Structure 1
């Protein structure tokens, strides 16, 4: 009788990151965002830099959406020690409204990038998804709504950016970045929940639950809501409905 095949591990690893070593690259930055689909609060971008000459794997890391909060929080100090550098940047709800979502993501990513540069200059960035909203070449296009002036605290990413769909599931540096961003953004929303308890942000973290929409209908939006989006339960002309958690 043939023994059943063992399932291949689905844990993210450094295989993709190590492929850049053939070109002489050493410091690889994984990058991921959270909060894209929330009705309230910031969009947040995490960056985790690994040293291919020194870094081994890190057990327990997965895409942040696949882990319970307790595991994500326990991973944060381990990720900080494991990486060469790490940071999380944020762009406010007002910036999402004023700049647009993609430019706000870039502002958040550029703030995280600025923090990382205080320790190391990455050779390459691996960005989750299929659209490069981070690199310097997109600066003019993304910041047109800001009359060409980059938001405060940003430094343009000058490293080559390689996009990869579902990188948070396969690339360890990107999965680690998603964990840092998720934990930090969730903590911000818990803090804001004390200021506006009607919206239960300590539970929904600003995402588009029906209860959250109902509270907006009842008491109106706060200063932390994205007011150019469809917020309540009733559609308003021109307001896009965004329900994606991430």
Structure 2
């Protein structure tokens, strides 16, 4: 059972990211402010839900949230900043886009960089504990999945429609055969064969 809020006095925004451990594509983040009486029986950490459940939840969250926002940083920005800083920055961008200014940020994880003067609380496993963080995890995950499905149409050889850019066996086999695309993260360890197939877009 998720807690509806961390405390009662301040207006809270839950924040989470998706795609931090992927080999390719952007990192997405969401910030969500929920009313304190928000409830949906399916709401949970997005990793505990299947794809159909996540996409069923998204419109309900968006329709009933006080405010929500989603932002992302591409693989080139991840390479420039490093993935941890890029995750924090994408959260900052999402918070900035909120139509209502929160008074407290609930962050999934154990680290965060201060956003303006808004106090924050880091919560390990927060997406399985607090409704607003769980809602943010669902939005970040579904928006990123949609993005990777669109990228799959450009580079179907990596099977991003299924693996979403994570280092699965099929993704690794594709890297071995074709080398990296311009959407792969150069700063990540990309183990792949030295001979790439011709006519495949590679990182410059």
Show structure 1 runs of 5+ residues with no match. Answer: 1-10, 137-156, 235-246
101, 106, 109: which one pairs with 1:121? 101
2:15 is matched with 31
Tell me which structure has the larger Cα radius of gyration. Answer: 1
Show structure 2 runs of 5+ residues with no match. Answer: 194-204
186, 191, 194: which one pairs with 2:145? 186
Structure 2: how far apart are the matches of 1:69 and 1:175? 15
Contact 2:82 2:187 in 1 (8 A): no
1:58: Cα distance to partner? 2.6
Is 1:13 the counterpart of 2:3? The answer is: yes
158, 171, 177: which one pairs with 2:130? 171
Structure 2: how far apart are the matches of 1:62 and 1:106? 22
1:220-239 deviations in Å (ceiling 9; x for gaps): 111110011111257xxxxx
TM-score normalised by structure 1 residue count: 0.75
TM-score normalised by structure 2 residue count: 0.90
Contact 1:58 1:82 in 2 (8 A): no
Is 1:85 the counterpart of 2:67? The answer is: yes
1:216: Cα distance to partner? 1.1
1:227 is matched with 186
Q: Find runs of 4+ consecutive structure 1 residues off by over 6 angstroms.
A: none
* Cα RMSD (Å): 1.4
1:84-127 deviations in Å (ceiling 9; x for gaps): 001111011111101111221122112211211xx201000000
1:107 is matched with 89
Structure 1: how far apart are the matches of 2:154 and 2:57? 28
2:25 is matched with 41
Secondary structure (helix, strand or coil) at the match of 2:96 reads helix
